[in-house]
Chain A
Amino acid sequence: MFNEEDILKIADLAHVSLRRGEMKSLKKDLSKILNYVEKLKEVDTSEVDFESISPIKNRIRKDEVVDFKKSKKEKMVGIEKNEDGYFEVGRI
Chain B
Amino acid sequence: MKNENLKIKNLQKEFKGGDTTCLELTERLLKKIKEKDGEIKAFLEVTEEMAVDQAEKIDKEGGFEGLKGIPVMIKDNILVEDVKATAASKMLEDYTAPYDATVVEKLKEAGVVILGKGNLDEFAMGGSTENSAFFPTKNPVDTEKVPGGSSGGPAAAVAAGMVSASLGTDTGGSVRQPASFCGVVGFKPSYGKVSRYGVIAMASSLDQVGPIANSVEDVTKIFNVIKGKDEKDATSVSRKSDFSKKEIKVGIPKEYFVEGVNQKVKETVEKAIGKIDSAGMKTVKISLPHTEYALACYQVIMASESSTNLARYDGIRYCSKNDQGKSGKMKDAYIKNRSDFGDETKRRIMLGTFALSSGYYDDYYMQAEKVRELIREDFRKAFEDLDIIITPTSPIPPFGIGEKIDDPLSIYLADMFTVPANLAGLPAISIPCPTDGLPVGIQLMGERFEDEKLLGIAEKIEKIIVK
**Among the listed stretches B30-38, B137-145, B308-316, B435-443, which one makes contact with chain A, having 4 or more residues with CB under 8 Å of it?**
B308-316
**Among the listed stretches B54-62, B110-118, B334-342, which one makes contact with chain A, having 4 or more residues with CB under 8 Å of it?**
B334-342
**Which chain B residue has the least Cβ–Cβ distance from A32?**
B409
Assembled-state Cα–Cα distance A32/B347 (Å): 11
Q: Which residues of A contact B96 (CB under 8 A)?
A: 77-78
Q: Which residues of A contact B314 (CB under 8 A)?
A: 15
Assembled-state Cα–Cα distance A49/B322 (Å): 46
Contact of B367 among A26, A45, A90 (CB under 8 A): A45
**Which chain B residue has the least Cβ–Cβ distance from A91?**
B324
Given contacts A16-B335, A36-B296, contact A90 B371 (CB under 8 A): no
Q: Which residues of B contact A75 (CB under 8 A)?
A: 98
Q: Give 4 new A-B contacts, CB below 8 A, not counting A14-B353, A75-B98, A78-B94.
A: A33-B409, A36-B412, A40-B296, A59-B234
A16 lies within 8 A of B349 (CB): yes
**Among the listed stretches B155-163, B325-333, B383-391, which one makes contact with chain A, having 4 or more residues with CB under 8 Å of it?**
B325-333
B408 lies within 8 A of A29 (CB): yes
A20 at the interface (CB under 8 A from B): no
Given contacts A33-B351, A48-B370, contact A89 B300 (CB under 8 A): no
Q: Mark A28-56, 1 if CB is under 8 A from B, else 0.
A: 01101110111111110100101001000
A43 lies within 8 A of B371 (CB): yes
Chain B residues near A (Cβ < 8 Å): 94-96, 98-99, 231, 234, 290, 292-293, 295-297, 299-300, 307, 311, 314-316, 320, 322-324, 328-331, 333-336, 338-339, 341, 343, 346-347, 349-351, 353-354, 357, 363-364, 366-374, 408-409, 412
Q: Which residues of A contact B290 (CB under 8 A)?
A: 43
B316 lies within 8 A of A37 (CB): no
Interface residues of A, count at CB 8 A? 43
A40 lies within 8 A of B297 (CB): yes
Given contacts A15-B338, A16-B341, A29-B347, contact A80 B94 (CB under 8 A): yes
A66 to chain B, nearest CB (A): 9
Q: Which residues of B contact A29 (CB under 8 A)?
A: 347, 408-409
**Which chain A residue has the least Cβ–Cβ distance from B313?**
A15
A79 at the interface (CB under 8 A from B): yes
Contact of B328 among A14, A36, A92 (CB under 8 A): A92
Contact of A37 among B296, B334, B353 (CB under 8 A): B296
| Listed A/B pairs (29) with beta-carbon separation below 8 Å | A10-B350, A10-B354, A13-B357, A14-B349, A16-B338, A16-B341, A17-B339, A32-B408, A33-B409, A34-B354, A36-B295, A37-B300, A37-B368, A39-B293, A40-B296, A40-B371, A42-B293, A45-B370, A45-B374, A48-B373, A48-B374, A53-B373, A68-B98, A69-B99, A78-B98, A79-B320, A89-B316, A92-B324, A92-B333
Given contacts A40-B368, A59-B234, contact A11 B339 (CB under 8 A): no
Q: Which residues of A contact B409 (CB under 8 A)?
A: 29, 32-33, 36
Given contacts A43-B371, A77-B96, contact A34 B351 (CB under 8 A): yes
Given contacts A30-B347, A78-B94, contact A15 B311 (CB under 8 A): yes
Q: Which residues of B contact A68 (CB under 8 A)?
A: 98-99
B350 lies within 8 A of A11 (CB): yes
A39 lies within 8 A of B408 (CB): no
Assembled-state Cα–Cα distance A28/B305 (Å): 23
Q: Which residues of A contact B316 (CB under 8 A)?
A: 89-90
Assembled-state Cα–Cα distance A7/B77 (Å): 29
Assembled-state Cα–Cα distance A16/B99 (Å): 30
Q: Which residues of A contact B297 (CB under 8 A)?
A: 40
A17 lies within 8 A of B369 (CB): no
**Which chain A residue has the least Cβ–Cβ distance from B346?**
A16
Q: Which residues of A contact B323 (CB under 8 A)?
A: 90
A74 to chain B, nearest CB (A): 9
Assembled-state Cα–Cα distance A36/B295 (Å): 9
Assembled-state Cα–Cα distance A48/B378 (Å): 13
A14 lies within 8 A of B296 (CB): no
